[in-house]
Every structure is written in structure tokens, then in C-alpha cells.
Structure 1
């Protein structure tokens, strides 16, 4: 059993994206920060493939502060070893959602999908007009509907077999955003935002998106620092 194989990247179709934060910039443009997760189906398939169907199992318990805990056990040299993690119940299908989240986190304890943490938050492509091949969502006001498409995965987050696991050819084409575009949008967003924690999240996503340009990352830092000083003075 080669447990290091648990750490290997997954194919794009085994990755699901969830909106971490969304809103509107000062110019009214909708933005969405998204996080990547491995699906539970892919986790189970990976465990079957690496460990064998009879050599792993999962179990659930109530979490001490609510929610649910999941333990994933793998039989190593004849001994069962269990790693646990927990998640809160979700608003939709509360218990089922909590169990699903807890299993994803327990899988990370074994290294499954842990590499996705290096992605942190990223900006999705968004549109205020319907696109059938994009995901549908609403802003917190409950009235504004928009459509979004997740960012492309970098090459280091893809399996080596590019022919089998490269980004699906059917994924919709999205307009290219230049570093200037990203920096301008970030500046507009934070200029109208007064919550420092929200600004920190926007800054992190923008800084990651500007990884190809050290110059633009420096400017991004400057914009964040200026806005943070403005808010601290007003407090």
C-alpha cells in the first residue's frame, strides 16, 4: 500500500468549487471569491484505489460543540489507524451537509486534497446575464442573481497525465483578465468596502490572482495598506 498516492492531484471533474464571498464593486461589477474541494465520490474512489475496498472505513460521531465528526480509518500493517476531523451542519440538508464536510476534512488529514489549500481563494468569472454552462448564485441581498465560472486550475494542481486529466475541453471560454484588470477591480472593491475582514479576503484573492506580476502584487499591497489606514483612522 503506497499511502503517498493519497496526496496526488485529482482530475478537474473531481473538484467542486464553492463561493466563499461575493458582492459588488464600487462600479457595480459582481465579484465572487471561490474555494476548491475534492468531491466525496472522488475521495472514496481514491481510498478504494490506494487502500483496497476492505482496508478503509469511515464513521461519524456528534461533534462536542455541534455539527458532526468523521473518522477515516485505514488498515496499515494489520492495524486500524483513524484520523478525525469535524464540520458544522450546513443550512441546506443540515446533517447530510455536515457529514459530507466532515469527511472531506478527515480526508485532508490523510493528505487527500491537501494540496488544494495552496490555492487559497481565487476570483471566479462572473456575469449578470444567464449563461447555461455556468453556475447560478445570489448575492446576500437575496435579490441579485448572477452566474459564475470557476478559475482554471494551475498545472501543479493537475495530474501528470494531461491527455486524460487536463481541463475539460467543454469548459466554457472566459475572457482573459489582465493584471491591470484585476488590480483595477480590487481597487474599486475596497474603495467602497468598510469591513476590514472583508477587505483582507479580497486582498488575499487579488494577490494570488496577480502571481504572474510582482509589480502588480506590490501595487495590490499598497492599495490594501492605504485603505486599511483610512479605516483605522475613521474608527
Structure 2
């Protein structure tokens, strides 16, 4: 397998529920925020695992003397390597505390992955002003992604909800076999309702 064989799968849009929104600016009363779309490092890792589970690796090197925790990341996918810098953000903790070095490593992974096309389309999304819930530190309502920024299966009514349920089942699969079969029957029926069979003989 070569990188060119999996490029389209790496570049594919993420499910909408995996896309988060972080503020880059606020109004004076913090009732509205200018939001930027992003995915977290776990989603990037899951994408790499899904496309080439045994074909990628990631290494970091701590950069000493930086004003904030900073690392150089090196991501190798199917023999091709890309490097980029990750920063831990503003923080008062040391490199060994506060989780800031971990944040730098996550930032580096995402920046390296973008060079392979993972999540690169998010840079094409316009920044969006939206109502902001400052108490919860999140948008009052999640912005809607345009059609082109969603995977094909989510462009059908109900598709996003089914995919979210399937993702959740990966981590919370029922132990009881009869319950597993019941979940399977419901998912199968839901998927068939999204893409009804055509051309069936009357």
C-alpha cells in the first residue's frame, strides 16, 4: 500500500459530531464569539488507525528554551514523513505539569496530519460569529457545517445521528448477546431507511 492509494480516505471530511468550535475573538460583553472549526488529536489518530492501522507512527522532540511548551512532531505515514511544530498554549505549568506538553504534542500531531490532508478542508471553512455561552465556555448553538464539509453518508436525513450512535457503540458495546442483536436490527433498519432499495421488482 502506498500513500497515494489512501490519500482520498485521509482527506475525507470528519463526521459533524467530531468537529469542534473554538473561539478566536469575543464581543466586549462576551455574548458572541468568532468561532474556528477544529478536530482533536484523538479524531486524527482514529482516522490514521482506520486508513492505515499499521502504517503510521508519531514522534516528538521537546524544544528547549521556548516561551511556552513546544515540540517538534514527526509523523510518518506509509513511509512518508512530515514535520511541524506544536505549542502547548499559554499556561503557568512547567513542562512536566498542567498538561501543556501533552497539548503541544497534540497540536504537533494535528499540524503534521494536515500535511497529509487530514482535516485540511477545515481551513477552508469561514470563521463564524455565533452566540456564546460564556458560563459553559461553548457556543450557545453548534454552527451548521456546509454540505461539502460533511461526509457523504451524513448528507442523508438522519445519517449523522446513526453514525454518532455507531461511534458510541465502539466504546459501549453491550455485553449481552441478545442486546447486541437487538442493536444490530435497529441499526440495519435505520441504514436501510437512509438508502431505500431501488429497482426492486414489484
TM-score range, shorter chain: 0.5 to 0.7
Shift of 1:48: 1.5
- 4+ aligned runs moved over 6 Å, structure 1: none
| Equivalent position of 2:33 in the other structure | 32
1:7-156 → structure 2 map (5 Å cutoff)? 7-24=11-28, 30-51=31-52, 53-63=53-63, 66=66, 67-75=70-78, 80-90=79-89, 91=91, 93-127=99-133, 136-137=136-137, 148-156=140-148
TM-score, L = length of structure 2: 0.64
Determine if contact 1:11/1:166 at 8 Å carries over to the other structure.
no
CA RMSD of superposed structures (Å): 2.6
Where 1:2 maps in the other structure, the secondary structure is: helix
Unmatched 5+ stretches in structure 2: 92-97, 163-202
Shift of 1:5: 1.4
Cα distance change of structure 1 residues 58 and 19 upon mapping to structure 2, 3 Å threshold: same
Q: What count of residue pairs does the alignment treat as equivalent?
A: 147
Shift of 1:32: 0.4
Unmatched 5+ stretches in structure 1: 131-135, 138-145, 170-235
Shift of 1:4: 2.2
1:205-220 → structure 2 map (5 Å cutoff)? none
C-alpha separation in 2, matches of 1:33 and 1:113? 20
Determine if contact 1:47/1:56 at 8 Å carries over to the other structure.
yes
C-alpha separation in 1, matches of 2:47 and 2:122? 16
Where 2:80 maps in the other structure, the secondary structure is: strand
Cα distance change of structure 1 residues 30 and 65 upon mapping to structure 2, 3 Å threshold: same
